[in-house]
Amino acid sequence: MGRLFLRLIDDDPELELHAGLSSKDDLEGVVGAALVVDVTVPAVSPGIVEKAVRAGIPVLVGTSGWSEPRLAALRRVVAEVDGPGVLVIPNFSVGSVLATTFATMAARFYESVEIIETHHPGKVDSPSGTAIRTAELIAAARRDLGPVRAPHADQRARGQQVASVPVHSLRLPGIEARQEVVFGGTGETLSLLHDTTAQSAYEKGIRLSLDAAPTVTGVVVGLDSILSLGAPE
Ligand SMILES: NC(=O)C1=CN([C@@H]2O[C@H](COP(=O)(O)OP(=O)(O)OC[C@H]3O[C@@H](n4cnc5c(N)ncnc54)[C@H](OP(=O)(O)O)[C@@H]3O)[C@@H](O)[C@H]2O)C=CC1
Ligand SMILES: O=C(O)C1=N[C@H](C(=O)O)C[C@H](O)C1
């Protein structure tokens, strides 16, 4: 992802790279930048983002692992500093954010829903950030209806529950990223499948996010927040 960002920044005459940092570099390297982009690993992402916010620099986060408790802690830091905002994008693919939006729309109509996410074997975290975000939005859409029905959820093979939604993670060669949200109802199922077949799927969302992030206030989450996803007129 870092390399993809470097290429897109290089291609854009409006943008200039301040510094490209890896795990071996000192974080002081961000000082003086107009925007920090964090595409690292969930274990270090909160520290990087907090450092940038406290240095007065807006942040675009693509790293996974930003569940609601982590976002709540970040909101407190951003409010305390009363400075730049943070744009957190769990998935830069337009198709993925549409699929998550459709899943949120369907959530109130089904008692049962489970998520199957499949990624390349190099992915270090599970469940994926996209699956966590999707499960949390489904639970929020059903807030007055209660948790989803997940029978025998205490058995390990039934997946990890995120906001009551069972999530099953597969790591397989031959796959970039895929998520299927399966709803079960009376005499029917509904499956919403999104497949990322190449990293080029992230390019449009990255360009839009680089444009939007410097002027964001507070903590803003999701590509849907900067896209117009309303129904056609
Ligand atoms: N939002 C989205 O649409 C997408 C998000 N992602 C997420 O983005 C993240 C990165 O993915 P990906 O690029 O595939 O992962 P990689 O493992 O290829 O890259 C991780 C990068 O993080 C760097 N890093 C690790 N630790 C630190 C540290 N302490 N300080 C600074 N940099 C560090 C690594 O540096 P080094 O090379 O020195 O180890 C490396 O450059 C993941 O969380 C992934 O889930 C991925 C695809 C799409
Ligand atoms: O690591 C990846 O590859 C991806 N990570 C993000 C996630 O955890 O959801 C986004 C996308 O699924 C690719």
Mean pLDDT, to the nearest integer, of 47-73? 96
Mean pLDDT, to the nearest integer, of 40-48? 97
179 DSSP assignment: E
Mean pLDDT, to the nearest integer, of 25-50? 95
Kindly tell me if the per-residue pLDDT of 232 is higher than 70: no
Choose among 227, 226, 194, 197: nearest CA to 85. 226
The residue from 18, 119, 120, 204 that is catalytic is 119
For residue 230, what pLDDT is reported? 66
Ligand 2 centroid vs 130 CA: distance in angstroms?
Answer: 7
3-class DSSP state of 22: coil
For residue 93, what pLDDT is reported? 98
Residue nearest to atom 11 of ligand 1 (CA): 1
Mean pLDDT, to the nearest integer, of 210-231? 91
Please tell me if the CB atom of residue 45 comes closer than 6 angstroms to any atom of ligand 2: no
Q: What is the pLDDT of residues 8-18, one digit of tens each?
A: 999 999 999 99
Q: What is the pTM of this model?
A: 0.96
Is 24 marked active-site?
Answer: no
Q: How many CB atoms lie within 10 A of CB 56?
A: 10
For residue 233, what pLDDT is reported? 54
Q: Rounded to an integer, what distance in angstroms lies between the CA atom of residue 119 and that of residue 178? A: 6
Q: Which atom of ligand 1 is nearest to the CA of 42?
A: 43
Output the furthest CA–CA distance in the chain (Å, rounded): 59
Ordered strands of the 86-88 beta sheet: 36-38, 59-61, 86-88, 219-221
Kindly tell me if the per-residue pLDDT of 130 is higher than 80: yes
Please tell me if the CB atom of residue 171 comes closer than 6 angstroms to any atom of ligand 2: no
Residue nearest to atom 30 of ligand 1 (CA): 23
| Phi, psi for residue 179 in degrees, rounded to 5 | -135, 130
Mean pLDDT, to the nearest integer, of 200-222? 97
Question: Quick one: tokens of 77?
Answer: 């830091």
Q: Range with the lowest mean pLDDT among 6-10, 54-58, 226-230?
A: 226-230
Q: What is the mean pLDDT of the chain?
A: 96
For residue 231, what pLDDT is reported? 57
